[in-house]
Structure formats: structure tokens, C-alpha cells
Structure 1
């Protein structure tokens, strides 16, 4: 058993977890993107940094990573989980509306940026085929770094995502195209074109099968996982879907990230997408950190110092060329000048997929190994400065829009019109929702019972599956955009806990809560509820109302007295709760009296 344990794996794990524990809170403290921190950690502890000194100082072995290849699978998993989470935020309807941006602007951006960079490299002496391969490689932008900074909801995020999506889809055809230009196969009558056609056919069939099976099977899989009430089972089902989808597209010849994106899109069409996103978020962040560490490990300080003038010019040239092409295309397609400029600067750096294309170009003998190494360093530097470029582009765009008077307030697609959020869809929750429908009020319901969710969905209610006992799920509801929060679940402890959390985040949000009795109502008022409705009180008032009417008292005075009694009792409970939470005044001693 002891022989099976690999000390290097434990050492690498220690370095990675230690980096995550130090980088994320440390850089957040100074409002700096942790992307830079992870890359710098990779530079410091990698084979070109402190790892190079292990032979002289053996104790460094335990705080460095000497084998970059050992952690690359985890880095690839981070990118896969990132694309999966992006798919969860989308839907097929929304993706269809973006088809013009994806296959129009996205294709033009990749081809235009690649052509401009290739022309510059050709002028500098690179061969035509080598310039073409380098141009396409450097025209790619980083999905893994860009989208976490801007999301997919804003105008900047939507524009960036449409182009990044096309680049991810074009990765495999680009690699095949570079293989076709290889000197060893260029003279062949067939080359790899027949293989490319075969791959496209297989990938098309695979995607069609995945779409059909996903529509039919995923709702049942996640419903069964939700019935277990076990977060571990739910997480296992989510990761299983991601891995199977990525393997399927890999076998078909496509990139695994295409399968991950497709898995996210399919789950987004189910009632469980919010819970899946919450469950997988921690793994995505950690794995993405591993990926960024591997990027930093690709930097060699000695090579950078020896070639820094050439590297600076190369990075600046790539950034300038991509900014011009991207901003111009977005402006021509109708984007505001500020948005076009911000997206252009944001996507100006090369990508992690650039490294893959550079390797393919070198393997095809289109560029020399030394040339590939040079541009790999340029790519790593570009990824490192992406957060700085994002900040620079944002500031310049805001100033431009203010100067031109083109500022626009963006409204999220999901919150174009504020709605009430109802938590719980039992007997009380359904009645509340029916009355909201009757009075034409927009609302969304959250329920943790998968069977109730399925039934409510069939009945046409806007309902989501989610467990609000987890803070991350409450964050997903974006209560800052809501008009009111209505708690109808029959769980006194959870309702008080949710009320306290929400009141701390959204001080002005009306919170109306169901209470079991007057004591529970008092606890809810202490937690910050705007109104708490005790069930025992309401049943007593309804009983009194029915009795008075049956005794012959006129309906008008009865309703008025019931309303007045209800209001008096509520105010009494609220005032008592406020008195209990008020600070207690200490009685002064005689010698302290002025």
C-alpha cells in the first residue's frame, strides 16, 4: 500500500491548495483579479522558478511543482467545468437568438484578426504557411479567463461570449487545416481532408444523439438524484453528465469543451439547473486555478529577460491588432462605441487554446520549435495581463461613453421586469401563487421537492428546483432585483435563517413570512421580516368571523373588526420583538448621576 502512494502527488496537491487558500483572499483584499495571482504562483513554484533549485535545496521539493504534465489533466478539467457552467447560464432559445453574432461576427473576428496578424508576420519574414498558422493561433481569445470576469448577461459579456463560442467550435477544423498544410502531406492528393469530413459527420451524429438523449433522460436522472435529498448524489450525477458528454465529443473528434457546453445547455432546460450550478461552482473555481498555475509554469524568467524587447513588441502587436479588428467589427454590427472598444481590449490577449494550435503548427513543421516556444511565452504573458487589459478597457469605454453622451443602463435579460420570489410550493405557497396570478403579478417559485416541482411545472407555474438552506442558492435568486420575498415553507428554523440572511444583504426588500404562531412571528420580526403572518392567529380570526356572521352580525362591521384586531395583534407582536432587540440601558450608580 505504501508503494502505491506517490509523494510527488501529495506535494503538488499541497502547493495547489495552499495557492488557492492564499491567492484568492489575498488578491481579493486588494481588489485584484486572482487570475494574476495564480499565474504568478505557477511562475514562482514551477520548473522555471523555485523548482529549478530543488537539486541544490532539496527541501524546496515540498513547496514546488517539478512535473507540469502531472497537473495538466486537472487544468483541462477546470476549463471543461467552466464551459459547463457557461452552458447552464444559457438556453437553446437564447443561443438561437445569438446565431448571427456567433457565426457572423464571431467568424469575421477570428478570420480578420488572424489575417491581420498573419500579414504582419509575413512582412517580418515568416513563411506564408507559418504566418497563417500563427495568425489563427494568436487570434484566439481565452474563454477561461475572459468570461469569469464579465459573465454572459451584460452587453460586453454577450458580445465576448458569441465570439469565444465560435472560436471554441473552430478549434478542431483549425488543427485539421494546419495538418493539411504540412509539407509531408501537402503533396498528397487526399491529405487529411477526407479525415476532416469523416470527423464532421461523426461529430454531427454525436451531437444529435446527445440532444435527443439529454432531452429524454436528464430530467429523470436529476429527479431521482433530488429525491435522495443527498447533495453528494446530486453532485455525482452532475459530474457524470459533464464527463460523459465531454468524452462523447472527444471520441467524435471534437474538443471536450464542446461536450461540456452542450451538457450545460441541456441541463439548463431542466428544472434543476440552479442547484447544479451551485453544487459545481467550488470545483470549477479550484480547477480553473490549477489551469492558471500551469500557464504560469510555462513562463521562463531567464528567457523573458534575455528577449524582453522582442516579447514586449510581440505582445503589443498582437493586442493592438486584435483590439482594432474586434472593436471595428462590433461597431459595424451595431454595438455602442464604448461596448465595442471594451470588448476589443478585453479579448486582445491570446488564449490557452493558442498553445494547442502552436503545438499543432510545430508538429506540422509549419514553424520552427524555437518560434513556437517564443509565441508560447507571448501567450502566457498575454494571459497574465488580461485582467489589466479588462480594467483598462472598462475605464476607457466609460470615459468614451460619457464624452459622447452614449451611456446606457443595462438591464439583465432575466430581470427586465422585477418579480416576487416565493419560496415553498406546498398548500400555502400554491394558494399565494394562485392569487398572484389572479392579480397579474409576476413571480418565480423555488421548491426543494422534485415531485412538487415536476407537478407545478406541468400546471404552468414558473418554478425552480433549489435548496434555499444553502447560501449559494439564495445568491442565485438575485433578490436585489426582486419586488418582494414571500416565505411559505413549513420550517420555522429555516424561515428565520433565510430572513436574517436576506435582510443583511438586501435591507430594503419586503420580506413576508409564514409563521406557525405568535412566538415564531416574533422571531421573524427580530430577524428582519417586514410582515409575519401566524397561522394560529389567522385561523382564530377566520373562526371568529364565521361565528359572528352566523350569529346575524352584519358582514361590514365584522370584516372591519377582524381587520382591526389583526392589525392590533401584528403591531403588538412587532413592537414586542423590537423591544427585545433594543439595547438594554444600564442603571446608573448614585455616584454616576450628574
Structure 2
């Protein structure tokens, strides 16, 4: 007898399997995770191999990923920051929606489309995908930037604007809506005000004590359940009065942004948000009606290209009016030019209200879905064709041209080179500093540092910098290949130079030793050692004992590196040396701890306890 899998189990296998295969493949091809989810949805959807057919139900469920995302975004914005954003939200957000809707409405009228259809289509297409935009801005760390803040403000206004758009649809229907008594309208308005007031007051007065009470139970899974319950309950309240679920979740996040449980809420909800957002993108891929696309390919292509281009023009000039940098505008424009998930709701509701027939709704929904599918691909194209050109057109300054005379040359004036330069300068020793990043040079000069613009991998520039007479060359650049190129140049043409070189990792350290460079410092080793010493002190170890242990570890580590170096090209031998060295050091420290415990009582300090090595 055959045993049939439950629908939820078979669907779970399909979704997870499609995501696990498609997303890593997409990222390996440099297309990003969103393309992978969308492609997976197309493959398993009705127009692919047909593993899943109930697309609409899945899309409604997957929209909860957007709700969780807005809740997490709200947790990053306290009420003061949100108040500071009020003008961008209502000013620039209103300008984007109104401008895009006006241009699209005019285009529809010029094309001879009925004004009702043109108006609803324009309003729906004016909205952008919050899910894709925030996902991309998060991956690129754009949210703290001016373009990210502007994009977020506009997207938030769009969530608010979706409410009056949906309320307008019954008035535009072919059949006049039932008259609603004034008392009914007042009751609906009172419900909306009451729900928002409940969320605000509850977030201020009730949620924190409730979360504190749950946290005292010391049951992590219950706190996770409470976090999900909070978001679900608020979303349900907003949905019950006809408001945006995502907007309610965002408002709740803002109210809890100053809570002591903010980080724990983020940690608990983040995995669910990621999975549901992935499911949302899969559902979008499944929702693309290729039947409409194949039946009217020319109309679909014209519709997609037309509304994306018109929106892009409006958004580009809006970004210019907002004062966004030229290199920030391409991504900003693309993320707001695509269609959005709320357009699905608007067009489905418009078909239900008889504003236009279901076939028109399918065409518009397909156009939005195709634009969302194309936007990550266009983003890859922008990265490779547009932003790469901006990177190639980096500002340059006049290179070092006058001969310099200083006992020290520092190549690279980033976070590493600056510390070296300041320490040497504090002892009255002049230095010649070179850096090939124009922005870094100007920033350093603004703080009073004398830095010359130039590429230290060029022999002529090193000669002008005085390498023939200089005693020490500090190679502090962060790029490994540039570092090795500078070292090779110095060893060949200026053999008298004493080289002090920054190493990024063990491989870089070995390559420098192969070139005979003995003064090599790993960039994070000393700072990590100090942090480890601090951890020991916080755990109750006396400061002198923590310092002694850190210094012993430092010497043992350097000795181990010297033992490893002859075998760095033989992996198996290298691993054996490392394991043996670590085991010997741990056994030696264990013996010394036992000996010290037997010799002295806790807290006793003698002069020999302090290490003679004064390195930090």
C-alpha cells in the first residue's frame, strides 16, 4: 500500500530543494541570491515542471517575509530617528509616487487606454519592491548611506500610500459601490485610529514588561515564540482594519527599537525572515504568467520596458534633486523603477472591483513580476558596466614630483600606516608618506598629515621619494600583490633598505620570508593578543598573570611560525608541526599552572611573575 506524503511535507521538500540547488548556483555565477530564488520559482511553478500550482495561496503566506523584514528594519530606527525622517518620507516619498503615477497615467491616456484603467495601473506600477530593494541595500550596506536612507523613506511612504489606493478602487469600479453610511465610515476610521493607538500605547507600556516577564522564564524557544506572536498579532490587527501588515510591523519595531530586548528579537526573527523572504521570491517566480507573456509578447515587452523606463527617468531626476552623488544614482534608480509586491494586491483587488477584466490584471501582474525578475540582472549589468566605469574614473591628484629626504618612507597610509607614521613623527623623525588613494590623501591632509599621492610600485616614484638614501621602508599597503611588488622592487634596486612589512595572513607572511624579509608583522596579531588578555582579566585572572600568559603565548606563537616556515609548501608536514607545537605549549602551560598552584597562594605577586617583555 502506497503512503502519500502530506501536502505540506511534499511542498516543503520542493521549496527547500529548489532553493538549496538554485541559490548557491546563482551566487556562484555572480547573479546574487534573489535571481536564484526567482529562477527556482519559475522552474517548479506552473510554467516550469509544474511541481507547485497553488501559487496565490503561497504568495499570500510568503508576504509575511516582507512583514518580518519591516519589523527588523523598524528595530534599527528609534522614534527620534523616524521623526527626523518625516520630511524625506512624506516629501520625497510623496514626490516619487505622485510623479511616477502622473507620468504613467499620462502615458496610458496617450495610448488610448480608458482613464480608470490608466489611473489604477499607474498607481500600482508606481510602487516598488520593498523586499528586493531592502534586501539589496542590506547586502551592499547601503542603508546607512544617503541614498539608502532616501530609498528607505520612499519605500516606507509607498507602504502607506497602498492604503488609500486600495480604498479608491471600489469608487472606480464598473458597478457603483454600495453606499456606506456616514456612521460606517466614522466607525472604520475609529477602528483604524484605535488599532494604531493600541500598537503605540501597547509598545510603550505593555510590551516591554511582557517581554521581561517571558525572558525571566529562561526558555529561549518561548521567547522566540513570543517574538513571532508579537509580529503576527500586530499584522493581524492591521489587516483586520484594512491597513498594511508590513506598516504595522514596522511601527512595532520602531517602538521596540530602544528596548533592551532589541538584539534578542533580531536574533530570533532573522532566520524566519530570511526563509520567508526566500519563499516570497520563489512565489514571485511561480506567479509569472508565461501564458499571457507568450500570447502577447510584444504588449508585455512594451509594458515592462515602458513603465520601468518612465519610472527610471522620474526617479533619476528625483535623486538629482535630492542631491545624491552621481555614482549612487544608478542603483537607487533601478531599485525604485521596478514593480513591487503591493502591485499584486492592487491589481487583484481592481479586478475584483470590476475596474478592469481579469485578463488585464494578469497582464499587469505579469509585467510587475517580470520587472522584479529582471531587476537583479540589470543590477549585475550596472555593477559591471556603469559602476565599474565610476571606479575606473577615480579622482587623481598630482603625483609626488619633488625629491624627498627622510630616513623613513611609509607606503600606504590606511589604518595600519597611520599608526606607524604617528608614532615615528611623535619622536621627531621625519617621514615620506605615499598613498595611491586620492580620497585617503585628501582626508589625511585635512587632519594635518603630510601625505603624497603616488603608487609605490613604481620605481621612478620610489626614487623621487628618496629610497636611495632612506634607511627604512615601511610597506603598509593592504593589498597582498601590491605589497609583494613593492618588496621585490626595493630588494632589487635598493638592497640597503631595511624593510618593515605588514602581512595580512600566514600565506603573505611566508611569501615575505621567501623574499628574505625578516621584519614582518601580522596586522591583527598584536590587537587580538590584547583582546585575549582582556578576556582573561574579565574572567577573574589577575592582570599580571594575564599579561604573562599573553606574552608567553606571543613568544610561543612566533617560535612556532619559525618552525612552520621551512615546511610551508608541504601541507601535511605543516599541519603536523602546528599540532605538535600547540600540544607542547598547552602541556607546558598546564604543568606551570600546577606548579604555581602548589608554590604560591592565589593573589600573591612576586617580581619574577612579571615578564620582562614589555610588548603589549
TM-score, normalisation: structure 2: 0.64
The residue aligned with 2:164 is 173
Report the Cα distance in structure 1 between the residues aligned to 2:246 and 2:538, rounded to whole angstroms: 51
Report the Cα distance in structure 1 between the residues aligned to 2:217 and 2:208, rounded to whole angstroms: 15
Report the Cα distance in structure 2 between the residues aligned to 1:511 and 1:540, rounded to whole angstroms: 18
**Structure 1 portions without partners, runs of 5+:** 52-63, 407-504, 515-523, 542-565, 587-594
Report the Cα distance in structure 2 between the residues aligned to 1:567 and 1:6, rounded to whole angstroms: 61
SS at the partner of 1:365?
Answer: coil
The residue aligned with 2:35 is 36
Counterpart pick for 1:131 among 108, 113, 118? 118
Name the CA shift for 1:83/1:306 in 2 (closer, same or farther; >3 Å). same
Q: CA deviation at 1:202?
A: 2.2
Q: CA deviation at 1:38?
A: 1.5
The residue aligned with 1:256 is 245
Name the CA shift for 1:534/1:393 in 2 (closer, same or farther; >3 Å). closer
The residue aligned with 2:455 is none
The question of whether the paired residues in 2 share the 8 Å contact of 1:106 and 1:164 is answered with yes
Matches within 5 A, 1:312-391: 312-391=301-380
The question of whether the paired residues in 2 share the 8 Å contact of 1:180 and 1:193 is answered with no
SS at the partner of 1:268?
Answer: coil
Q: CA deviation at 1:305?
A: 3.0
The residue aligned with 1:158 is 149
The residue aligned with 2:556 is 576
The residue aligned with 2:386 is 396
Report the Cα distance in structure 2 between the residues aligned to 1:124 and 1:381, rounded to whole angstroms: 21
Cα deviation code 1:17-42 (max 9, x no counterpart): 11222233222222322212222222
The residue aligned with 2:80 is 93
The residue aligned with 1:538 is 542
Q: CA deviation at 1:538?
A: 3.3
SS at the partner of 1:334?
Answer: coil
The question of whether the paired residues in 2 share the 8 Å contact of 1:245 and 1:262 is answered with no
The question of whether the paired residues in 1 share the 8 Å contact of 2:19 and 2:40 is answered with no
Report the Cα distance in structure 2 between the residues aligned to 1:78 and 1:537, rounded to whole angstroms: 46
Q: CA deviation at 1:139?
A: 0.6
Counterpart pick for 2:65 among 57, 60, 78? 78
TM-score, normalisation: structure 1: 0.67
Report the Cα distance in structure 1 between the residues aligned to 2:251 and 2:54, rounded to whole angstroms: 32
Counterpart pick for 1:287 among 276, 287, 295? 276
The question of whether the paired residues in 2 share the 8 Å contact of 1:238 and 1:276 is answered with yes
Name the CA shift for 1:363/1:509 in 2 (closer, same or farther; >3 Å). farther
The question of whether the paired residues in 2 share the 8 Å contact of 1:43 and 1:299 is answered with yes
Counterpart pick for 2:196 among 201, 207, 216? 207
Report the Cα distance in structure 2 between the residues aligned to 1:130 and 1:22, rounded to whole angstroms: 40
Report the Cα distance in structure 1 between the residues aligned to 2:367 and 2:182, rounded to whole angstroms: 31
Report the Cα distance in structure 1 between the residues aligned to 2:78 and 2:200, rounded to whole angstroms: 13
Cα deviation code 1:210-250 (max 9, x no counterpart): 11111122222333333344331221121111111111212
Q: CA deviation at 1:184?
A: 2.1
The residue aligned with 2:13 is 14
How many equivalent pairs are there? 436
Name the CA shift for 1:578/1:380 in 2 (closer, same or farther; >3 Å). same
Q: CA deviation at 1:283?
A: 1.0
The question of whether the paired residues in 1 share the 8 Å contact of 2:23 and 2:33 is answered with yes
Matches within 5 A, 1:158-557: 158-185=149-176, 198-393=187-382, 396=386, 399=389, 507=524, 510-511=527-528, 524=532, 533=537, 538=542
The residue aligned with 1:49 is 48
Q: What CA RMSD, in Å, does the superposition of the two structures yield over aligned residues? A: 3.3
Q: CA deviation at 1:137?
A: 0.5
Cα deviation code 1:399-458 (max 9, x no counterpart): 46976969xxxxxxxxxxxxxxxxxxxxxxxxxxxxxxxxxxxxxxxxxxxxxxxxxxxx
**Structure 2 portions without partners, runs of 5+:** 397-521, 568-616
Q: CA deviation at 1:135?
A: 0.3
Larger Rg: 2
SS at the partner of 1:347?
Answer: helix
Further displaced range: 205-214 or 238-247:
205-214
Name the CA shift for 1:73/1:355 in 2 (closer, same or farther; >3 Å). closer
Report the Cα distance in structure 2 between the residues aligned to 1:265 and 1:221, rounded to whole angstroms: 17
The residue aligned with 2:132 is 145
Cα deviation code 1:121-162 (max 9, x no counterpart): 111121111100000011100001110111322222211111
Counterpart pick for 1:118 among 90, 99, 105? 105
